[in-house]
Amino acid sequence: MKLFITVNSPYARIVRVAAIEMGLDSRIDIEVVTVRDPRSVLLPHNPTGKVPTLRTDSGEILSETRIILEHLDALQPGNKLLAANNDLVGRAEEGRIFGCLDGVSTWAREYRRPESKRFQWLMEVEHARAARCFDFFDRDQALLNDRIRVAQIALGCSVGFTDAFLDDFDWRDGRPNLSAWYDNFLDRPSMRSTMPKR
């Protein structure tokens, strides 16, 4: 299999961490690509130009993080990391975390623009969403104390992306449970080996 990524995509990092946790990383070749680039080597494989993109052993091209995770989960015989389709509590949990990550990613993209070209209202909306979500996660003891699953991986990658690229957001302030959980989760080899690069 081949996984197309950018090194700082939190969505690609979720797949990379999950693959390591599943014991599938040795079966996956990683190719770092560019995005929003008409010359990207990704485009012949995936016309959307989005990462992560996975080329399966049978040659199918999968994009979208959850679809890739479903494929990887089906390949490994151990405990499944994704919430089952009939697990509405688990699916809702994953949805909240991915929704938070969508907002944080939008905020970070806007933050990288020259200050004179930033949409301040959008940054304020996404700041508020991130604060609400991180407050919620700080109170969610089941999430922070459960076995490793996609929800925890996505949360760890969301917090890591925030830590790396949103200097103005002190997400640790007033969130001792999430802060302690993240520091512990960050010790996992899967997280250490996939750290984003500033």
φ, ψ at 3 (rounded to 5°): -110, 120
Helix (H, G, I), strand (E, B) or coil at 8: coil
Domain boundary among 28, 46, 75: 75
Is position 198 within any domain? Answer: no
The pTM assigned to this predicted structure is 0.96
User: How many structural domains does the chain have?
Assistant: 2
Domain boundary among 33, 50, 75: 75
68 shares its domain with 101: no
> The CATH number of the domain where 61 resides is what?
3.40.30.10
DSSP secondary structure letter of residue 157:
H
The predicted pLDDT at position 128 comes to: 98
29 shares its domain with 122: no
The predicted pLDDT at position 146 comes to: 78
Which pair of tokens denotes residue 161? 């992306």
> The CATH number of the domain where 173 resides is what?
1.20.1050.10
Which pair of tokens denotes residue 25? 């990383």
Per run of 10 residues, the mean pLDDT along the chain (length 198 residues) is: 97 98 96 95 96 97 97 91 93 97 97 92 97 98 91 98 94 98 97 92
Distance CA 25, CA 33 (A): 18
Is position 80 within any domain? Answer: no
Is position 129 within any domain? Answer: yes
Is position 81 within any domain? Answer: no
Partners of residue 63 on adjacent β-strands = 53
φ, ψ at 62 (rounded to 5°): -110, 135
Distance CA 87, CA 84 (A): 5
Is position 96 within any domain? Answer: yes
48 shares its domain with 144: no
User: What's the domain range around 150?
Assistant: 88-192
161 shares its domain with 92: yes
Please provide the DSSP assignment of 63-122 as one string: ESHHHHHHHHHHH--S---SPPTT-HHHHHHHHHHHHHHHHHHHHHHHHTS-GGG--HHH
